[in-house]
Structure 1
Amino acid sequence: MIEAELKARVRDPNAVQLRLDEYAVGRTEVYQDTYYDTAKGQLGSRDAELRVRTVHGDTGARSLLTYKEAKVDEASGSKPEHETRVENAEAVHRMLRGLGYQPVIAFEKRCRNYDVQARGRLMLATLVQVPEIDGTFIELETLVQDETDVQAALGDVRAVLESLGIEDADLTRELYTDAVLAHRTSGTRTDE
């Protein structure tokens, strides 16, 4: 599956949240993300990602192992994604380290998630705050089977973002991982 996704800075988080509340019931969750790579950075050098995520919410905690391949769409950064739920996150962390992967960065994302049905697609809208980064972001994604549907899916995602008051000028491709690393290096909060 390919995650067709756009991400943007949110200028008025309260207004966007009110609009999202019209689409669906939101759920508040906290993500604990750890990204892995080899000592030589082989995954990063080919634009791949390996992540263990533990999601804490009202219904308890769940953990996911995710591998993302290189981008299939340069403008949006959309990538093929392979994800599975794991029963024991600590065991997965130990396995990855035992296989030679090293934690590159770990950080927290505070999220408000909405399962949105729009334009004939199931989408996930997420309002995101990362404590080490200034501002609020929105991620809107939908899954597609192959590259032939990516552009149409991104068009649908863009239309929903516009309905939420998000403009093309608000879109960003910068990564949370890069912004958090920059913050930790400089010792100050950063704008992504």
Structure 2
Amino acid sequence: MIEAELKARVHNPEHVMGQLDRLAEGRAEVYQDTYYDDPSGSLDAQHQELRVRTIHGPNSTRSVLTYKGARIDSASGSKPEHETRVDNPEAVHAMLRGLGYAPAIAFQKRCRNYEFSSRGRSLLATLVQVPEIEGTFLEVETMIPEEKELSAALDDIRSAMGELGIHADDFTSELYTDAVAARRATE
């Protein structure tokens, strides 16, 4: 599967949240993300990601292991994605370290997730705040089976984001991992 996704800086979070609240019930969650790489940094160099995410919700905690392949669209950063739920995240962390991977960066994301349909697609919209980065972001994604559907999926996502009040100059392809690393480098 391919994760077709766009991300934007949100200049009026209250307005966007109000628009999303009209579409679906929001779900507040805190993500604890740990990204792994080998000692040479080959995953990062190839724009691949290997991540363990633990999601803390109001009523439960769950963890997932995610591998994202290299970007298939440089403007959006959309990538093939494979993800599975894990019952024992500490065991997964130990396995990855045992296989020679090391934590490259870890940080927290405070999210409010909304699942809704638009233009015949199931979308996940997430309002994101990363404590180490200034501002609020909006990510909207959908999963598609083939790369040939990417352009149409991104057009649909872009339209949905426009209806939420996102403008063309709000879009960004900056990665949270890069922004957090840059912030830590200045401290």
Instruction: Tell me the TM-score normalized by structure 1.
Output: 0.97
> SS state of the match for residue 180, structure 2?
helix
Q: Distance in 2 between matches of 1:74 and 1:100?
A: 29
The answer to whether structure 1 residue 128 and structure 2 residue 128 are counterparts is yes
Structure 1 position 55, deviation (Å): 0.2
Percent identity reads 63
**Which residue does the alignment assign to 1:190?**
none
In the alignment, the residues of structure 1 paired with residue 59 and residue 138 of structure 2 have an alpha-carbon distance, to the nearest angstrom, of 23
Shift of 1:16: 0.1
Q: CA RMSD in A?
A: 0.5
Counterpart in the other structure of 1:91: 91
Deviations 1:110-143 (A, max 9, x none): 0000001111000000000000000000000000
Question: How far does residue 42 in structure 1 lie from its aligned partner after superposition?
Answer: 1.2
Letter in 2 for 1:132: E
Structure 2: how far apart are the matches of 1:141 and 1:168? 17
Deviations 1:36-61, CA, capped at 9 Å, x for gaps: 00000111121110000000001210
Secondary structure at the aligned position of 1:111 is classed as: strand
The answer for the alignment partner of 2:186 in structure 1 is 186
User: Could you tell me how far apart the structure 2 residues matched to 1:141 and 1:57 are?
Assistant: 20
CA distance in 2: counterparts of 1:45 and 1:185, whole angstroms = 19
Matched, 1:113 2:107: no
The equivalent of 1:28 in structure 2 is 28
Alignment length (residue pairs): 187
Alpha-carbon distance in structure 2 between the residues aligned to 1:15 and 1:177: 27
- Residues 84-115 of structure 1, C-alpha deviations (whole Å, 9 max, x = no match): 00000000000000000000000000000000
Separation (CA, whole Å) in 1 of partners of 2:47 and 2:134? 25
- Residues 15-40 of structure 1, C-alpha deviations (whole Å, 9 max, x = no match): 00000001100000000000000000
Tell me, yes or no, if structure 1 residue 101 matches structure 2 residue 101.
Answer: yes
Find the aligned partners of 1:75 and 1:104 in 2 and give their Cα distance.
24
1:146-181 superposed Cα distances (whole Å, 9 cap, x missing partner) = 101000000000000000000110000000001101
* 1:173 match: 173
CA distance in 1 between partners of 2:47 and 2:186 (Å)? 25
4+ long deviations beyond 3 Å: none
Instruction: Give the Cα separation in 1 of the matches to 2:61 and 2:169.
Output: 35
Counterpart residue number, 1:7: 7
Matches of 2:181 and 2:45, distance apart in 1: 17
SS of residue in 1 equivalent to 2:172: coil
Structure 1 SS opposite 2:73: coil
Q: SS at 1:36's partner residue?
A: strand
1:154 counterpart residue number: 154
Please state whether the residue corresponding to 1:47 is helix, strand or coil.
coil
